Structure 1
Amino acid sequence: MAIRRLSFLLLLLLRAFASLPTQTAARGGADPSSGIDDEKHGSFLRNLLEDKPEITEEMIHGYMTNSELEIAVQDFGSRCANVSRVYSIGKSVNGSPLWVIELSDKPGQKEAEPAFKFIGNVHGDEPVGREVLMQLAYWLCDNYLKDPLATLIVENTHLHILPTMNPDGFALRRRGNANNIDLNRDFPDQFFPINDEINYRQPETRAIMNWIKQEHFTASASLHGGALVANYPWDGSRDKRKEYYGCPDDKAFRYMASVYSESHYNMSLSKEFRGGITNGALWYPIYGGMQDWNYIHGGCFELTLEISDVKWPKASELLLIWKQNKMSMLNLVASMVKTGVHGRIFAADSGHPIPGSLMVKGIDSKINASRTFGDYHRMLAPGESYEVVASMAGFTPKRTRIMLEREAVNLDFILDPDGAVGQTKPVRTDCDCRCDDGGKPFLIREAYIWLYLLVLFFLLALYILFRRRIASRLAPHRHPPKRPVAV
């Protein structure tokens, strides 16, 4: 029995050793070029009120206070701990934590999946986003593994929800924060950089900027009130004229905005905005806005969503507003998975993932792959052919052409080191060590191998020693004395 047990343990060890991850091959196929397809449209006239003349107690009744919202976020984290985590990205001027809910089947873990963020209550007097985003979080928690769309989002994305970016403004019942600064004018602007030093920004703005640098967001949206439209970049123009001023990814942004508008109860039926979408510079030019900064500095495709004609509707209307926006929010997040091009970038000499960049010929913008897994997620409008280019310093770029239909395209690249063999410097990743294609550090993997070998050697030694002892005990009995026989 003891020998059988030892043999069984040896078999288990050998199977565990054989199941260690192995390197996999990737595919790919080389020079980026630029080009912007400008488009002119008519102008819409609309003026949003900078501040609500008066926010009465009757209007506030039914909305969560900042304390109640914080309790709700923490309670959500406890109730839905299997698919969420709660964390703070900083504090407001008056010290209120900026709480975020992350929803995923592996919350808090790095994965080769796209990440999306929703931000509510950017303006203190536009509180609908606070309430709607909490409804979204609860719906996803309650319907995970029950509803296909909820399951797709939880299992294939990392969704981050910041219900309020401006808790102080909400408490003061005004547009700006505690310093009376409009947070959606406080980001560094591409056309008029007054002051690009992050230390001179409001603490809420700094928190968002640092958040974008820490997380690898693919797309995002901020929720506002005062109109009913999906707004996309650019938010302003170089000469400050009110005209259509599209960004390099104008087609992709119009597609994303249309996904939201057409999934909405009545946004796409707007008589003011064709199709329920609009270019920011054409409709309501602003400078220092959050969505342009996201796109330029984070490679994050952000929309500004106006989800209520009234900035501060009665609380009795909140449930209806949630229902009207529910499918729009879900479909917008799911569009990251259902369309676009996704993949990973590897080094040919080592097989390790590398944080290269991805460009599309004819679109003058690039996105970066993550440092951990070398994964990228590129939003593109479906129904077209694209030439996709992967590149990184020290490697030869590679390109290939794809036809993007209604479904997403998965495309991996293997980049060959350029120059002489051995001249390429090792690429650092987030774990600051060599990583295999699954993201597991090689140092840890090698430690496991040595541990397996050590245990295997120890068990073999015990097995041999055990056999010798058994043999020595059996030796005197190999030739037993003859028994007397009665005749």
Structure 2
Amino acid sequence: MRARAGNMDFACLWLGLLLPLAAALDFRYHHQEDMEAFLKRVAQNYSSITHLHSIGKSVRGRNLWVLVVGQFPKEHRVGIPEFKYVANMHGDETVGRELLLHLIDYLVTSYGKDPDITKLMNSTRIHIMPSMNPDGFEAVKKPDCFYNSGRGNYNEYDLNRNFPDAFEHNNVSRQPETLAVMKWLKTETFVLSANLHGGALVASYPFDNGVQATGALLSRSLTPDDDVFQHLAHTYASRNPNMMKGDQCKNKMNFPNGITNGYAWYPLQGGMQDFNYIWAQCFEITLELSCCKYPREEKLPYFWNDNKASLIEYIKQVHLGIKGQVFDQSGNPLPNVIVEVQDRKHICPYRTNKFGEYYLLLLPGSYVINVTVPGHDPHLTKIVIPEKSQNFSAFKKDFIFPLRRQSDSVLVSNPSCPLVPLYRAMPSYSAATKPSLFLFLVPLLHMFFK
């Protein structure tokens, strides 16, 4: 096995030498035409490790481009988790847009040359959307550190208030950009994500909205996976020298260690990160990357230097925890089977995909995994996730369920979780929301950050 692995690394190094070199991406703002030209050039020059596609169009008909990077960019492969970055959903928050273009440039030019990047790309399918709101970006005429009319889309809707909300009715008109992302989330088994913003310097994690059951009376709103989310936020912030200081933006809140619970910062209805976690089984955090929303171009190299290590290390976190497949006794993969940790159930149960796959982001420790097929008794298994994680792979555990294929018609249909306020009827406090788990902050009602 060692010799075979060595041969594969050698082949990757040769592939890296054979891949064409792209002209270095300059540090300036790339408007739609320039951004499209860059993405198409990368897709053409690095066709073996990239796949460029549009997930839909903006109000004005601009493509919402996504570049997929990895060893198998065109389709999902069992055991390889799906990761995504989304930027510029507020058109006037521009740093993330440019950072993702430079991340693309860095990944494709490092493949086959940098062993760490090569292993990451061989074991991860990475989706990068530089701009979710191209109309808003094009509407901004010049850099401005504060609120700009380009924040919303062309219809002047704030896209980070436009998703269904699990805590209260969000009676807004769903915009084309929002609907495109919602449809996209149904097509892939996304495991981990981050959306990139500006106007503050902090890594914010769910929930953004809340009720008493999630700890809202204690000035925060925590998920059953709060330990994982704090780890994810800290992973990003701790590698950004200015973010981790927590107090770099004048006249803004101080954030200990550069992280915050979203609701503790200020409540937000219809946010994208809560939607990802609840309805798409995807852990997402919000990254505020600059005190100034739309800084001058000459500042861009400094933002890249501050965020490069964080962007790479955060992608690696998609390999936390446990993954595997659920099979019947004949070896057929079982879709739509609930697979969750016994004491951290999600309000929309996490289920296997059409390949019978599941991914659970968990920190090292001992867990009881509950595998449940509708109409059958739960299958409980104790799992110990080791302290030292495997090399770019979550701990692998498959489950064989004692089920005859002819009796599992209930698995054929894909049960969907209703897009309604799901948390409204929950009882008081869960174990995940005990006061000792979080440093409480008084909510700051402000609408111009996330």
Question: Structure 1 length as normaliser, TM-score?
Answer: 0.71
- How far the C-alpha of 1:120 sits from its partner, in A, is 0.6
- How far the C-alpha of 1:154 sits from its partner, in A, is 1.1
* Contact 1:126 1:175 (8 Å CA) reproduced: yes
Q: Structure 1 counterpart of 2:106, which letter?
A: W
Which residue of the other structure, out of 344, 352, 368, is the alignment partner of 1:387? 368
1:334-384 residue CA offsets vs partner (Å, 9 max, x unmatched): 1112x2111111111x2111122211021021422220x2121111123x2
Q: Which has the larger radius of gyration?
A: 1
1:414-441 residue CA offsets vs partner (Å, 9 max, x unmatched): 11127xx9534385599xxxxxxxxxxx
Matching residue of 2:407:
423
Secondary structure in structure 1 of the residue aligned to 2:326 = strand
**Residues 395 and 323 of structure 1: is their aligned pair in 2 closer, same or farther, counting only changes over 3 Å?**
farther
Q: Distance in 2 between matches of 1:376 and 1:229?
A: 30
Secondary structure in structure 1 of the residue aligned to 2:350 = strand
Secondary structure in structure 1 of the residue aligned to 2:167 = coil
Matching residue of 2:328:
347
Secondary structure in structure 1 of the residue aligned to 2:238 = helix
1:38-90 residue CA offsets vs partner (Å, 9 max, x unmatched): xxxxxxxxxxxxxxxxxxxxxxx931111111111111111211100000000
Q: Distance in 2 between matches of 1:305 and 1:318?
A: 16
Q: Distance in 1 between matches of 2:167 and 2:407?
A: 40
Secondary structure in structure 2 of the residue aligned to 1:150 = helix
**Residues 204 and 185 of structure 1: is their aligned pair in 2 closer, same or farther, counting only changes over 3 Å?**
same
Query: Does 1:363 pair with 2:344?
Result: yes
Q: Structure 2 counterpart of 1:183, which letter?
A: L
- How far the C-alpha of 1:265 sits from its partner, in A, is 2.6
**Residues 397 and 202 of structure 1: is their aligned pair in 2 closer, same or farther, counting only changes over 3 Å?**
same
* Contact 2:81 2:318 (8 Å CA) reproduced: yes
Q: Structure 2 counterpart of 1:211, which letter?
A: W
* Contact 1:232 1:257 (8 Å CA) reproduced: yes
* Contact 1:390 1:397 (8 Å CA) reproduced: yes
Q: Distance in 2 between matches of 1:221 and 1:386?
A: 26
1:286-335 residue CA offsets vs partner (Å, 9 max, x unmatched): 10100001111001000000111111111111122112111111111111
Matching residue of 1:245:
221
- How far the C-alpha of 1:143 sits from its partner, in A, is 0.9
- How far the C-alpha of 1:94 sits from its partner, in A, is 0.5
Matching residue of 1:122:
89
Query: Does 1:182 pair with 2:158?
Result: yes
Which residue of the other structure, out of 49, 62, 84, is the alignment partner of 1:83? 49
Q: Structure 1 counterpart of 2:353, which letter?
A: S
- How far the C-alpha of 1:280 sits from its partner, in A, is 0.3
Name which of structure 1's ranges 142-151 and 273-282 shifts more when overlaid on structure 2.
142-151
Matching residue of 1:397:
378
Question: Structure 2 length as normaliser, TM-score?
Answer: 0.76
Matching residue of 1:52:
none
**Residues 359 and 118 of structure 1: is their aligned pair in 2 closer, same or farther, counting only changes over 3 Å?**
same
Where in structure 2 are there 5+ consecutive unaligned residues?
1-26, 141-149, 248-253, 415-450
* Contact 1:391 1:415 (8 Å CA) reproduced: no
Q: Structure 1 counterpart of 2:333, which letter?
A: P
Q: Distance in 2 between matches of 1:319 and 1:88?
A: 28
Matching residue of 1:108:
74
Matching residue of 1:34:
none
Query: Does 1:165 pair with 2:171?
Result: no
Q: Structure 2 counterpart of 1:80, which letter?
A: Y
**Residues 257 and 185 of structure 1: is their aligned pair in 2 closer, same or farther, counting only changes over 3 Å?**
same
Q: Distance in 2 between matches of 1:213 and 1:194?
A: 21
Name which of structure 1's ranges 176-185 and 187-196 shifts more when overlaid on structure 2.
187-196
Which residue of the other structure, out of 281, 284, 299, is the alignment partner of 1:299? 281
Matching residue of 2:193:
220
Matching residue of 2:122:
155
- How far the C-alpha of 1:108 sits from its partner, in A, is 1.1
Query: Does 1:229 pair with 2:196?
Result: no
Q: Structure 1 counterpart of 2:259, which letter?
A: I
Matching residue of 1:202:
175
Matching residue of 2:104:
137
Q: Structure 1 counterpart of 2:234, which letter?
A: S
Q: Distance in 2 between matches of 1:275 and 1:354?
A: 42
* Contact 1:149 1:330 (8 Å CA) reproduced: no
Q: Distance in 1 between matches of 2:296 and 2:361?
A: 36
* Contact 1:226 1:310 (8 Å CA) reproduced: yes
Matching residue of 1:11:
none
Query: Does 1:413 pair with 2:399?
Result: yes
Query: Does 1:255 pair with 2:231?
Result: yes
* Contact 1:152 1:334 (8 Å CA) reproduced: no
Which residue of the other structure, out of 307, 327, 330, is the alignment partner of 1:325? 307
Secondary structure in structure 1 of the residue aligned to 2:345 = strand
- How far the C-alpha of 1:251 sits from its partner, in A, is 1.0
1:75-110 residue CA offsets vs partner (Å, 9 max, x unmatched): 111121110000000000000000100011111122
* Contact 1:242 1:285 (8 Å CA) reproduced: no
- How far the C-alpha of 1:156 sits from its partner, in A, is 0.8
Where in structure 1 are there 5+ consecutive unaligned residues?
1-60, 431-487
Cα RMSD, aligned residues only: 2.0
Name which of structure 1's ranges 99-108 and 391-400 shifts more when overlaid on structure 2.
391-400
* Contact 1:394 1:417 (8 Å CA) reproduced: no
- How far the C-alpha of 1:242 sits from its partner, in A, is 8.2
- How far the C-alpha of 1:266 sits from its partner, in A, is 3.0
Q: Distance in 2 between matches of 1:83 and 1:285?
A: 40
* Contact 2:209 2:263 (8 Å CA) reproduced: yes
- How far the C-alpha of 1:396 sits from its partner, in A, is 4.3
* Contact 1:242 1:283 (8 Å CA) reproduced: no
Q: Distance in 1 between matches of 2:259 and 2:295?
A: 22
- Give the aligned length: 361
* Contact 1:396 1:417 (8 Å CA) reproduced: no
Secondary structure in structure 2 of the residue aligned to 1:123 = coil
Secondary structure in structure 2 of the residue aligned to 1:263 = coil
**Correspondences of 1:51-62 after superposition (within 5 Å):** 62=28
